Every structure is written in structure tokens, then in C-alpha cells.
Structure 1
Amino acid sequence: MGEPTRDPYIPDLLSAAEAADILKLTRQGVHKRWATGQLPGTTAGQAVVFRRELIEAIAKAELGD
């Protein structure tokens, strides 16, 4: 079997650690920015998750990546 088909209606989500890698921050820095409303994210159970497209756009604006 090949790769499963990706549902276009379900966004690609990142953990805080993955978002931190993209944004060149610590995981704690990502949590702090999320808690103060500087990063858009939501909780999934006890974890905070972030939409990949938004984190990549923020990284591009802030870091020029």
C-alpha cells in the first residue's frame, strides 16, 4: 500500500516542539507566545497544536525563511 490520502479539510498540525524548530525558539518560548496570544494555536487534549501554514508564514515574516 502507498501513502494514505491526506484529507484537505484537516489542517496539518504541529506540536510545540515542531513549531519551536521552525520559529527558532525553545518549546517554552512557543508556549509563552501562545499563552499571551502572540501565536495562534489550540489545545488537543493536554497538548497545544499549531497549524503548519500559519507557523511557516510567521517564520517567514519574522525570520525571512
Structure 2
Amino acid sequence: MKKALTKQQEEVLLAELIERTGSRPGLPEFVDCLLMLLEDIPGFEGVDEAEVADLVVRLSETYRDQQRK
């Protein structure tokens, strides 16, 4: 990735993923949707697998943080 998402962008992205895939999507569906959404964010086109894996971990942490609130 050319730059990191802000916490606010992560929260918006996570909300969009949940809206599109449900709260418990399968990993392939989740990743496909994530890649599609990232294409719409300037600077995040063409991410590689390692970058997506890092982002999935961060989004999981954001989701857990939201559930604790």
C-alpha cells in the first residue's frame, strides 16, 4: 500500500464491509469485497496479499474495539 488508512477510514471501510457482506462473512467473500472497496480509495489500488493480510488484521482489531464499546 502506498499509505496507511486512518482510523476513521478503517471504521468507514469496516462499516461498508459489514453492510455488504454481513457481520460474519466467509474469508474469501470478505477479502474480495475488501479489495473492491480499496480500489475506490486513492493510493490503495493494486495492493498485494501481504498488505491485504495486514489490513484484515487491523480491521479485525477495529471491529473488536467497536464491540467492546
TM-score normalised to structure 1 length: 0.31
Q: Which has the higher helix share?
A: 2
Higher-Rg structure is 1
TM-score normalised to structure 2 length: 0.30
Q: Which has the higher contact order (CA 8 A, sep 6+)?
A: 2
Q: Which has the higher strand share?
A: 1
